[in-house]
Structure formats: structure tokens, C-alpha cells
């Protein structure tokens, strides 16, 4: 039996006002029809975290960014059903898209939940979070803006900690070298629940832009 053809992003954009596939800076005030604070989730997976936090904070605008086609289609379907007017989905690699889509000092919060750890040493170079990326997200945060990260991979967690603490404009909210032990004030992603149920340790990092 022939497989069902995939829906193109052009078709998704036509059918849903919540999907954006753009290569230029949007006027986010026009997109959301308000000037509410902006928050970004990088790599939203099945969308559980993004949808829950957007529902919890209707006074904020949320952008979810991912390059996994199947996941994007599923999340768009859920957002369409819920008519979540404070949420937009963007396709693309965060390392390229963030510079295009957001002005400096325009984001209140950035969430990065369980980025691919690429655990084999020869693949470390593929990891998302490197010093140039830390510089990028720092520039996009407002003064007092925050970045929240979660990973279950210890070596990646230590690497991320080093990279973020080396950025002069960022401060570890719990103190130098300290990971957060739990995160009860934010929704849990699908992966987070899986790791917790399996008894795995999760490393949480919270940083704030101080200037």
C-alpha cells in the first residue's frame, strides 16, 4: 500500500496561521497583534512543554523552533485545535534562524530542553550549544532575560555550564558551578518525564542576563 504523501510546509502555512516559514525578520507585533513579552523554545519535540507553558502564560507570546518535519506537523495540528493565538511555530536550525528572526534584546526567555547530546566523542562538534551559540542567545535576550536548559547527559551538562559561565553578560542564578536539582515551576517535556520515570538524573541550568 502506497504511503500517504507528506504535507508540504507551504500547505501548512496556507492552512494554519500559527506556522511560519520565513527567511526575514518578522514584525512580531503585527504577527501576534500585541507587544507582549516574547519567549522562545528551541527544539520543542512533540510540543508538550511549549503548549503547556503557552497555555499557562497567555500574557506572553511564544515561538517554537525545530527542524523535525513530522514533529512540526503534529504540533501545528494541536495548536490549530486549541487555537493558541499566542503561539507560533518556525521551521529551521536555531543556529541560523535566531539571527534572522529576532532583534537583539527582544526575547524575555529562551528554553532549550534536552538538546541532542551527540554522545560519541567524534560527534561533539555537532552539539548545538557552543560558545558562538551562547553569544547569539545572549545578544537576543533583554537585560534581565533568562535562559533555561535541561539535559540528562552529564558530559554535555558540564560543557554547557562552562560555556555559559564563560559569558560575562550571563549569571548562573544558583551560583557558579551549580546545577538546579529540580524544576517544579515549569512544565515537563515528554523526554523529561521519561527520564524521571526511569530514575535518570537531569541537569538543569538557569542563567540570567545581567547587562
Residues annotated as catalytic are 116
Q: Which secondary structure element, helix H or strand E, spans residue 203, and what is its range?
A: strand 203-209
Report the distance separating Cα 204 and Cα 71, nearest Å.
24
Cell of 136: 547569539
Asked if residue 160 lies in contact with residue 211, where contact means CB atoms within 8 angstroms, the answer is no
3-class secondary structure, 141: strand
Report the distance separating Cα 53 and Cα 140, nearest Å.
20
Report the distance separating Cα 128 and Cα 131, nearest Å.
10
CA dihedral 83, 84, 85, 89 (to 10 degrees): -110
CA dihedral 52, 45, 89, 148 (to 10 degrees): 60
Amino acid at each position: 500500500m502506497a504511503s500517504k504523501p507528506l504535507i508540504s510546509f507551504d500547505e501548512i502555512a496556507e492552512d494554519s496561521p500559527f506556522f511560519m516559514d520565513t527567511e526575514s525578520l518578522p514584525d512580531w507585533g503585527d504577527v501576534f497583534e500585541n507587544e507582549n513579552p516574547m519567549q522562545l523554545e528551541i527544539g520543542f519535540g512533540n510540543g508538550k512543554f511549549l503548549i503547556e507553558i503557552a497555555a499557562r502564560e497567555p500574557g506572553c507570546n511564544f515561538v517554537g523552533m525545530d527542524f523535525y518535519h513530522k514533529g512540526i506537523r503534529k504540533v501545528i495540528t494541536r495548536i490549530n485545535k486549541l487555537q493558541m493565538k499566542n503561539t507560533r511555530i518556525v521551521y529551521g536550525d536555531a543556529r541560523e534562524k535566531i539571527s534572522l528572526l529576532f532583534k537583539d534584546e527582544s526575547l524575555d526567555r529562551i528554553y532549550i530542553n534536552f538538546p541532542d547530546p551527540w554522545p560519541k566523542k567524534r560527534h561533539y562538534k555537532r552539539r548545538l550549544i557552543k560558545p558562538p551559540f551562547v553569544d547569539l542567545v545572549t545578544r537576543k535576550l533583554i537585560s534581565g532575560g533568562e535562559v533555561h536548559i535541561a539535559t540528562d547527559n552529564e558530559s554535555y551538562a558540564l560543557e554547557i555550564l562552562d560555556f555559559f559561565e564563560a559569558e560575562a553578560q550571563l549569571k548562573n542564578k544558583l551560583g557558579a558551578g551549580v546545577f538546579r536539582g529540580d524544576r517544579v515551576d515549569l512544565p515537563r517535556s515528554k523526554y523529561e518525564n521519561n527520564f524521571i520515570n526511569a530514575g535518570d538524573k537531569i541537569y538543569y541550568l538557569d542563567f540570567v542576563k545581567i547587562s
